[in-house]
Every structure is written in structure tokens, then in C-alpha cells.
């Protein structure tokens, strides 16, 4: 049965496909969470099946772990791995310095722990994720359930003294109930519109009692691989200061990806 990818899925696919070139036999690889990261896991699974690639994957969520096992990737915990060769993950936003907002998929805590336990972090994204200044996408912060409403109030009061345009804070919901992360915590989404000083913001917000972690990834990402709907790929390396372009051909009827849902 054949199928046709939408332009946005083509962009995600070619970015993920390009990123697999950084993965080598014997590596311990952090596997991100979200729709773009799912493309990566599928691509790596194809390499395991068809090319005999041998890697150990450390997933950043239970759903990524399930997908990795389904496509034949050996899954281990971060405690077993201790340190990773690289992590490949998606992002909700990235700026010109490759600073990120992550956590739209609800896995920001595990994603940040895994990314910082890696020699290199590679982000895969479509071109729409690039912004001049972070903050257009709501910034998630993970908070413990105990006293979360007090934590929310403290966050709102703290925002008054920070360089942001918006200050709306909302509890993320899962239907009629609060959303729970894999660690059993809640997520507060901060609708800021613009974050004037992301580094300062991250340090200040993490000092609030009840806040576990925030979705700002500052100085963590090394490379961003940007996919386009026409098959073009752009690779930006912040350390090398380079930008490279290439193109990937995709096969519309590749059944390996036909069942991948966002």
C-alpha cells in the first residue's frame, strides 16, 4: 500500500534521515521524544534491520522506549549507559545560537538529563521551528504536584521582574485531568511571547520551590539539522561555525514509515 507524506512530514523525515549519518556502530545514543524524534527512531530501526547497525538507545520517554523496541533497537537505561556518545532529539523552537525551547511533548526533564549526559546533542527540526528570539512557543516547566497552585503563584510573581512580554501561566491538562509526566509531575506552560534573556530566565525560574526543571536548553545543542518539504537539508554546526546544505531523496511508498503517527 502506498502513501504520500505531507510537506511537514517530508521535512521531518529528511532531517531525521540526515541525522542518522552521525550514528555509528557501537554507539550509545539518546533518543528524543516527539513527532520528529519518532522519525529518527524509525530511520535507525531501518538501519538496524537492513544494515545490521548495532547501537544501544537511551529513550527520553516511555513512548519512545516502546517505539525503539518495536523497530529492533536495543534499549538501555541512562544508569546502565552512564554516558552517551550523542543524543538526537527534536525541538519546539531554536534561535540563531542553537538555544532551544523543548517540552511540548511533556518529556523535558528526561530530555535535558539525557542531552547533558552526552558528548554531543543534535537537534532535528523543520524550518518553521526557527525563531529570532525564544518565547513564541509556550515554555513548559515541570513542577511537583504537591502545592502546585502555590508554585504557579510564585512563578507568576517572579515573571513580573523578568524580561518577557506575556505572563499567562496555565496547567497542562490531559482531557479533564492534569497532565502527568513520566516522573509523576505536572507541567505549567508559560505563555511569554518573548524571552529577553533566556539564560537569566532559566536560572531564576529554577530557584522557585516546586519547580523541577524548565524547557530552556541553553548551550546544550551542538548541531541543528533542518529539513524542508522539498527534500533539502541544512546542517548548522555551532562549534564549527558552519552551514552545509544537501538534499535527500525520499520514497513515497516506503511502508516502514506508513504507520508513523504524529
Is 211 in contact with 138 (CB distance < 8 Å)? no
Is residue 129 a known part of a binding site? yes
For residue 92, what are the contacts with CB-CB under 8 A and spacing of at least 6? 100, 101, 102, 103, 104, 129, 137, 215
Strand pairing of 74-75 and 56-59?
A: parallel
249 labeled binding residue: no
Q: Read out DSSP for 18-36? A: HHGGG--TT-EEEE--SHH
Residue 181 annotated as lining a ligand binding site: no
111 part of the active site? yes
Would you say 60 is a known binding-site residue? no
91 annotated binding-site participant = yes
Question: Is 170 annotated to bind ligand?
Answer: no
Check the annotation: does 61 bind a ligand: no
User: Are the beta carbons of 205 and 154 closer than 8 angstroms?
Assistant: no
What does the alpha-carbon distance between residue 107 and residue 217 come to, in Å, rounded to a whole number? 13
Q: Binding residue per annotation — 92?
A: yes
DSSP for 150-168 reads HHHHHHHHHHTTSSBS--E
Q: Which of 46, 111, 142, 213 is catalytic?
A: 111
Is 112 annotated to bind a ligand? Reply is no
Point out the annotated binding site for substrate.
Answer: 33-36, 89-92, 102-105, 129
Instruction: Give catalytic residue positions.
Output: 111
Point out the annotated binding site.
Answer: 33-36, 89-92, 102-105, 129
Amino acid at each position: 500500500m502506498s502513501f504520500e507524506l505531507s510537506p511537514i512530514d517530508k521535512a521531518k523525515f529528511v532531517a531525521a534521515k540526515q541525522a542518522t549519518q552521525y550514528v555509528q556502530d557501537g554507539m550509545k545514543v539518546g533518543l528524543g521524544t516527539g513527532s520528529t524524534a519518532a522519525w529518527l527512531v524509525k530511520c535507525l530501526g531501518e538501519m538496524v534491520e537492513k544494515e545490521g547497525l548495532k547501537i544501544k538507545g537511551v529513550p527520553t520517554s516511555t513512548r519512545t522506549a516502546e517505539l525503539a523496541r518495536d523497530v529492533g533497537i536495543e534499549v538501555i537505561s541512562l544508569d546502565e549507559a552512564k554516558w552517551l556518545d550523542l543524543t538526537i532529539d527534536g525541538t519546539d523552537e531554536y534561535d540563531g545560537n542553537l538555544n532551544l525551547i523543548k517540552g511540548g511533548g511533556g518529556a523535558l526533564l528526561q530530555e535535558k538529563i539525557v542531552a547533558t549526559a552526552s558528548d554531543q546533542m543534535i537537534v532535528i527540526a523543520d524550518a518553521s521551528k526557527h525563531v529570532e528570539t525564544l518565547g513564541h512557543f509556550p515554555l513548559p516547566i515541570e513542577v511537583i504536584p504537591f502545592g502546585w497552585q502555590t508554585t504557579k503563584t510564585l512563578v507568576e510573581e517572579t515573571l513580573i521582574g523578568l524580561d518577557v512580554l506575556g505572563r499567562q501561566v496555565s496547567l497542562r491538562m490531559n482531557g479533564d485531568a492534569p497532565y502527568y509526566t513520566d516522573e509523576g509531575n505536572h507541567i505549567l506552560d508559560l505563555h511569554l511571547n518573548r524571552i529577553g534573556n533566556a539564560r537569566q530566565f532559566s536560572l531564576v525560574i529554577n530557584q522557585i520551590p516546586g519547580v523541577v526543571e524548565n524547557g530552556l536548553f541553553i548551550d546544550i545543542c551542538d548541531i541543528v539539522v533542518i529539513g524542508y518539504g522539498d527534500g533539502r537539508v541544512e546542517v548548522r554546526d555551532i562549534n564549527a561555525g558552519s552551514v552545509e546544505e544537501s538534499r535527500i531523496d525520499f520514497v513515497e511508498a516506503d511502508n516502514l514509515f506508513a504507520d508513523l503517527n504524529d
